[in-house]
Amino acid sequence: MENLNHSRFDQEYDRRYAYDGGDLGAAWAQARTVFKLWSPEAERVELFLYRDGGGSEAYDRRPLELEERGVWSAVVEGDLHGVYYDYEVTAAGQTARTADPYAAACGKNGARSMVVDLSQTDPEGFEKDCPPPLPAERIIYELHVKDFSHDPGSGVPEQYQGKFKAFSWRDKEGRPPVCMEHLRGLGVTYVQLLPIFDFASVDEGGSPGQFNWGYDPMNYNVPEGSYATDPADGIVRIRECKEMIQALHQNGMRVVMDVVYNHTYASDSWLERSAPGYYYRRWADGSRSNGSGCGNDIAVGRAMADEYILNSVLYWAREYHIDGFRFDLMGLLTVELVNRIRWALDAQYGPGEKLVYGEPWRAADSPMEPGTAPALKNHIDRLDPDVAIFCDTTRDAIKGDCFHAEQPGFVNGGMGLGETVLASAAGWMGGEGDFKPRACSQIINYVSAHDNYTLWDKLMLCAGGTASYQEPKDDLLAQNKLAAFICFTCQGNIFLQAGEEFGRTKQGDSNSYKSSPDVNKLDWHRAWRFGGLVDYYRQLIRLRKSLPGLCAKDDKAGERMVERKVHRDGVVSFQVERGGPCGERLFVAYNATAHDYAIQLPSGRWTLRADDTDADQHKPLISQGNWVTVRPRSGMLLQS
């Protein structure tokens, strides 16, 4: 509604209209359904009811009544479970048709909402579903639903490839498919799923050759239909999504949801059509801001935008048993909202029971509401100690700049990076400029994610890209192992992209968000061919879990890390003092050069726990005069 006075959506507007009743949407009961929509600017709102989610005509229509604080409501008698609906909203003299932004279910491609009795969407035993106990360490594995099983080598039947069902399917003997066996055996403690809410960038009834990462929100509180076996039935996608989460829990993994509350796929969204002008940021001249790089920014900081996001998070945690939330472009959210989410989850589920972390950046500037601060990297000291951020400084120090393929990092020939690598290993507890973490719990250590080049492709391109992406080249394997070794011996949380453990390649595609599924898929034959690298990652995961000195998430990590030393370009070492009754110490060295390097150990009896051949061993160290030789392009960890 471009003729609205957008400057009126200020704090006084929020004081007048903000609604926290918690009952917006379609509240089903067997005898009646109550429909409520927040639309303070509306002059009229009408409800339309349908037998299906497609092209049929409405079988009933009725007006909603205006209540307090801009809420419109209607009561429809009878059992409406499975009935579809939408609204017609007239505001500022213009009329728009809209689905319900608060809907819990929808039809194919999300254009019509659906009334749902959520108890009928639960798979067998879901009422007793619970995550495995909080793990000793947070090791997060980033996974895309379609990537996971699109490859026939996944062992998943064709009709379930790329679907939610791939996670829960079993053969006649009750065995899971190859992809699920791999995931279960790897030892990760959290699976972070790229967006699984309903997104707009694929046709849910279209070809299986379509692909998108899913950062295009359409219906925030409904699972994506293209991952369901029947996107036209609003119940199926909910049940199969719950089956996936239940299966991951049963296999020992907690589930993190990648959420995108910073923008919507289209500016003409259900939020905009239901409450024209309110939910999007604008500059003083009335133009839309574009801090997301996607054409619009949600007006986080306004009362109802914050309320919408908070309630959506709590809904997924409650209804789907989600164990954590990764916030896309968290720098477009506010410190105040992110902390509020953290504290609300703690209040309902217990401190630290749910993970909260995100990207501490944005694509461009965005106007903030008065009295709010963006949740950017340089505001980490304002965030709760149990809100974490992806540390791009650590990522780039280890492998090189993520945007420039030819720029190396520590493991592949970069110069002058020793101090940065040591600061990374300390969880940045000493800070850097205005980046001052409060505790190691705030740091996500990683070397690859869905964005930019895979680790293997980055190392290949940086080396000149003269070999095939498909070949397990020795030099690149050594660099890959060292990059993982460094990441897994840093203080903080551990994160890896699915397939990193077997040299995942996208053939040099640095932005595969809508590339073909054949480019994006996990190649399960490659997982077998790169089995030695898989074993090394599996060992690193076991090692990490066994070392409390690395798993601690408090603010004392910087004090425990002593004797930091840059021996020369490409060679560093440090000690970790655990303290406590055992008084155990760790000694860690990284040698990224092409030559052996001898380092004198501190006094004491040392056991070799990890090197470039075995990252989970207990071998008494025999050396002359406490000197140890670290092999080329490798790491070494010893325990005393």
Structural fold of domain 562-639: Immunoglobulin-like (2.60.40)
Which residues are CB-contacts of 213 (< 8 A; sequence separation ≥ 6)?
Answer: 144, 194, 195, 450, 512, 513, 514
Domain map (residue ranges) of the chain: 1-390, 562-639
pLDDT of residue 1: 45
What DSSP designation does 292 have?
Answer: T
Of 328, 369, 384, 401, which is the active-site residue? 328
Please give the structure tokens belonging to residue 229.
Answer: 């076996």
pLDDT, one tens digit per residue, over 240-292 is 999 999 999 999 999 999 999 999 999 999 999 999 999 999 999 999 999 99
Give CA–CA dist 455/214, Å, rounded. Answer: 22
What's the average pLDDT block by block, 10 residues per block, for the chain (640 residues)?
68 96 97 98 98 93 97 98 98 95 98 97 97 96 98 98 98 96 98 98 95 98 98 97 98 98 97 97 95 98 98 98 98 98 98 97 96 97 98 98 95 97 95 93 98 96 82 93 98 97 96 97 97 98 93 86 95 84 82 97 92 94 81 96
Please give the structure tokens belonging to residue 370.
Answer: 């008065």
285 catalytically annotated:
no
* Alpha-carbon distance values, 342 to 150, 427, 491, 613 (Å): 35, 21, 22, 40
Give CA–CA dist 623/640, Å, rounded. Answer: 14
> How far apart are the two ends of the chain, measured CA to CA in Å?
68
Q: Which CATH superfamily is domain 1-390 in?
A: Glycosidases (3.20.20.80)
Give CA–CA dist 133/147, Å, rounded. Answer: 28
Give CA–CA dist 514/520, Å, rounded. Answer: 9
To the nearest 10°, the Cα dihedral for 190, 195, 197, 201?
A: -160
pLDDT of residue 464: 86
Give CA–CA dist 182/162, Å, rounded. Answer: 16
328 catalytically annotated:
yes
Of 147, 272, 307, 359, which is the active-site residue? 359
Which contacts (CB < 8 Å, 24+ apart) does range 168-175 have? 168/123, 168/240, 168/243, 168/244, 168/246, 168/247
pLDDT, one tens digit per residue, over 122-180 is 999 999 999 999 998 999 999 999 999 999 999 999 999 999 999 999 999 999 999 99
pLDDT, one tens digit per residue, over 51-99 is 999 888 999 999 999 999 999 999 999 999 999 999 999 998 999 999 9
User: In this structure, are residues 146 and 134 in contact, taking their beta carbons and an 8 Å threshold?
Assistant: no
